[in-house]
Structures are given as structure tokens and as C-alpha cells.
């Protein structure tokens, strides 16, 4: 790995399921070599899952690299967007895997953003009860889903409700692929990067604040560092709690409200990063209700605004629908509302005693027309 000077490598420590995340430039063409180095059997067919937005940009580079290394690879393309994270598309991919002759030694590659990662990951988790999985994320947001092994599809009543824990063999983060991202997705991606700072690392939050301009301009070195630090926080948390018994839940900062907003929006209007940006402002307001750091809501809001992210709930989202969507969310256990609450920048707490009325009040206060 000495050839590329900018290559960053991080290991997600999970005992015998540990795996590396490689972050650098010009990496796609090294896919085949990495497969060989890590002992993936050449005879076992590979399924490359990608989406209609990413396919024409990068699929052939990955395939060529694999073919040169001797692998038999079949491409499966799903429609771009959250709607592909369904049981129906999952079924289509299982069919594709069977038709491509995938066996127990085969690999499923996810080439794309979080949707492709979650979907292809669940295919890898369930096909023959689990085969190899490799992630090649092409969005900033996917830095989050590429660590920790959470894979899933949605159900019409709730997001990510059908899934598994299935760790990848490795993650290949080619920074070049991020240059093609629409600006809106770049901003949304940073919401999750900043979240990792907010829950664990104040210094990194300050660094993001100072580097906002370079980050939004996708300067390779700043971006590489941000992804490395974001992955590192997540990796530390996941290593200590793989199955979300306790600690791992802190990663859900902003997600209870965020998921509800996405559900109400029909998985289309709001990007995930936008939804949790609003959700994190909500969590910070909750923190103030609990009497923690009194300036934290304003500070959180300022930071997200700096990255061009939304901090208010669109006016036409009905409060009742948002509240109802939360009741179906995983964070709702045994009749009480559970929230991750930021005690200070870089530190969170899980509160299982959040009154429903507080949440309703905060949701209403975040509505666009009601201002701050």
C-alpha cells in the first residue's frame, strides 16, 4: 500500500470479523488486486450491485479490474433512490445472484451510496445465510453505513425494519468518486460526518467548522481526513458494541426525528442527511429542556446552516404524522420514548425518560413557519 501517498487505512476492530477501510484516490482499479490479496476464490462468481446513477460512472472500472484479476463478475443495476431499499428489489437481486451462479464462496459488492450498501449488504447477509460482502461507497453519507455492518431494507410502515448485522470484508473509499456528487448530496453527507463529531469528538467538530469551505469544495486532503475521522468515531463505537445493546445507540443522534421526517416525506423529499440535520437540532433543543448546555441548540443550528443544511421541518408535514411515524421506530421501546441527547458538543447521553409531549412541542417548534 506504499504506492499511493495519500492512502489512509483504518481497521474496524471486531475480533475475527475485523476489516479495513481504505481511503484514498485512484483506488477503484485496485479492486481485483485486493480480492486476490485477501484470498477471495477466483472461481466463485461475483455480483456487482450498483444503481442507475452510479453505473455509467464507475461500474466498468471495477469490473475490468476484477476481470483482469481473473474473476467472473455480473452486474445488477437497481434504480437510484431510497425506493430501491425494498423487499421487492431485494428479491430481484436474489434472483440475479442465483442466475449468476453465486455460491457460498461468492462475494456481493455494493458500488454506490447508502441505499445500495444497505440493500446489497442484506442480499449478502441473507443469500445462502451469508456470503462475502465488499463495499465501495460513492457518497460521503455512505462513510456512515460502511462501518458497523448494519444492512437492511425498508417496509412501508418503517425504515430499516428488515435487516441483519453483516460485516464487509473490506471497504474501498475512492475519493475521486465523490467529485461527481450533486452539491445537495455533499452537504447532506457532511451532516452524518458532523454527527460523529457531535457525539464523540469536540475537536473534530471545531475542525469541521473551520474547514467548512474546503470540505464543501471537496478538497481531497480535507475530505480524506473528514471521512477518516468520521469512520474512526463510528468504528470505535461499533467495536465496543457490535449488536447495539447499549453504546451503539448513541449513533442514532438526530435519527428518531430524522427517520420520522423521512417516513412522512415518503422517502423522497428529504435526503437522509437533511432529515437528521433537522433531527439533531431537535435533539439539542431536547438537551436544553433537560437543563444541559443552554447554548447547544443555537450552536448546532449555526454549524448545520454553515454547511447549507436544513434546520427546520417543512411546514406541510403534519405533526401527528411525524409523531405516529416515531411510534413505529426502533428507538421506541416498551412504551417510553428513547432519545440520544447531546449534553455538550462531543458528548451525548441516552435518555429513556423523554415525555411524548416534549417531543411534540419540539416538533411543532421546528416547523418552518414558527421560526426559531
Q: Which residue numbers belong to the known binding site?
A: 80-85, 114-118, 138-139, 150, 159, 192, 255, 272
SS3 call for 129: coil
130 binds a second copy (CB under 8 A): yes
Residue 35 C-alpha cell reads as: 480480492
What's the CA gap between 300 and 280, in Å, rounded? 8
129 binds a second copy (CB under 8 A): yes
Residue 194 C-alpha cell reads as: 458532523
Q: Figure out which of the listed residues 11, 18, 41, 202 binds a second copy, where binding follows CB under 8 A.
A: 41
Q: Figure out which of the listed residues 11, 18, 37, 98 binds a second copy, where binding follows CB under 8 A.
A: 98
Which residues are part of a known binding site for NAD(+)? 80-85, 114-118, 138-139, 150, 159
Q: What is the DSSP letter of 313?
A: B
Task: List Cα–Cα distances, 170 to 10, 55, 132, in angstroms.
Answer: 10, 21, 10
The alpha carbon torsion through 32, 186, 24, 50 (nearest 10 deg) reads: 0
Smallest distance, a second copy to C-beta of residue 104, A: 6
100 binds a second copy (CB under 8 A): no
Which residues are part of a known binding site for Zn(2+)? 192, 255, 272
Residue 273 C-alpha cell reads as: 442527511
Q: Figure out which of the listed residues 128, 216, 236, 323 binds a second copy, where binding follows CB under 8 A.
A: 128
Part of the chain binding a second copy (CB under 8 A), chosen from 102-110, 224-232, 308-316, 359-367: 102-110
CB < 8 Å & 24+ apart, contacts of 57-60: 57/138, 57/177, 57/180, 58/28, 58/111, 58/136, 58/138, 58/177, 59/111
What's the CA gap between 247 and 253, in Å, rounded? 12
94 binds a second copy (CB under 8 A): yes
218 binds a second copy (CB under 8 A): no
Give bridge partners of residue 85 from the DSSP assignment: none
150 is catalytic: yes
Catalytic residue among 248, 262, 274, 301: 248
What's the CA gap between 308 and 179, in Å, rounded? 18
Which residues in 224-243 contact a second copy (CB under 8 A)? 243
Catalytic residue among 259, 262, 285, 301: 259
β-pairing verdict for 73-78 and 132-137: unpaired
Smallest distance, a second copy to C-beta of residue 200, A: 23
Catalytic residue among 232, 252, 285, 331: 252
What's the CA gap between 295 and 287, in Å, rounded? 10
302 binds a second copy (CB under 8 A): no
Active site residue ranges: 129, 150, 192, 234, 244, 248, 252, 255, 259, 272
Judged by the rule CB under 8 A, the positions of this chain that interact with a second copy are 41, 43-44, 87, 90-91, 94-95, 98-99, 103-105, 125-130, 150, 152, 155, 157-158, 161-165, 243-244, 328, 330, 332-335
Amino acid at each position: 500500500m506504499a504506492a499511493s501517498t495519500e492512502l489512509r487505512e483504518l481497521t474496524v476492530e471486531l475480533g475475527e470479523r475485523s476489516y479495513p477501510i481504505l481511503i484514498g484516490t485512484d483506488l477503484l482499479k485496485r479492486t481485483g488486486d485486493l480480492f486476490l490479496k485477501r484470498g477471495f476464490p477466483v472461481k466463485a462468481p461475483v455480483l456487482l450491485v450498483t444503481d442507475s446513477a452510479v453505473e455509467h460512472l464507475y461500474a466498468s472500472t471495477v469490473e475490468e479490474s476484477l476481470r483482469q484479476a481473473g474473476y467472473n463478475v455480473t452486474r445488477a443495476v437497481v434504480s437510484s433512490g431510497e425506493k430501491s431499499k425494498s423487499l421487492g428489489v431485494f428479491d430481484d437481486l436474489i434472483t440475479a445472484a442465483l442466475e449468476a451462479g453465486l455460491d457460498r464462496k461468492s462475494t456481493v459488492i455494493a458500488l454506490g451510496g447508502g441505499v445500495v450498501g444497505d440493500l446489497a449488504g442484506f442480499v449478502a447477509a441473507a443469500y445462502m445465510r451469508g456470503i462475502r460482502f465488499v463495499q465501495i461507497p460513492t457518497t460521503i453519507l455512505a462513510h456512515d453505513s460502511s462501518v458497523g455492518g448494519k444492512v437492511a431494507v425498508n417496509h412501508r410502515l418503517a425504515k430499516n425494519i428488515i435487516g441483519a448485522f453483516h460485516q464487509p470484508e473490506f471497504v474501498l473509499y475512492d475519493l475521486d468518486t465523490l467529485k461527481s456528487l450533486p452539491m445537495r448530496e455533499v452537504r447532506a453527507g457532511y451532516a452524518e460526518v458532523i454527527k460523529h463529531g457531535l457525539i464523540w469528538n469536540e475537536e473534530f467538530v471545531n475542525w469541521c467548522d473551520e474547514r467548512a469551505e474546503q470540505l464543501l469544495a471537496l478538497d481531497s486532503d480535507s475530505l480524506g481526513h473528514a471521512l477518516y475521522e468520521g469512520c474512526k468515531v463510528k468504528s470505535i463505537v461499533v467495536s465496543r458494541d457490535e449488536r447495539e445493546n447499549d453504546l451503539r445507540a448513541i449513533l442514532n443522534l438526530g435519527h428518531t426525528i430524522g427517520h420520522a421526517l423521512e417516513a412522512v416525506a415518503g422517502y423522497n423529499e428529504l435526503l437522509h442527511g437533511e432529515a437528521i440535520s433537522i433531527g439533531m437540532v431537535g435533539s439539542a433543543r431536547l438537551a436544553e429542556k433537560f437543563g444541559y448546555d443552554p447554548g447547544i441548540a443555537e450552536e448546532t443550528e449555526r454549524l448545520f446552516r454553515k454547511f447549507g443544511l436544513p434546520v427546520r421541518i417543512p411546514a406541510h408535514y403534519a405533526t401527528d404524522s411525524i409523531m405516529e411515524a416515531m411510534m413505529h421506530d426502533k428507538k421506541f421501546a416498551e412504551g417510553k420514548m428513547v432519545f440520544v441527547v447531546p449534553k455538550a458538543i462531543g458528548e451525548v447521553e441516552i435518555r429513556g425518560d423523554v415525555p411524548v409531549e416534549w417531543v411534540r412541542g419540539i416538533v411543532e417548534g421546528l416547523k418552518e413557519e414558527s421560526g426559531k
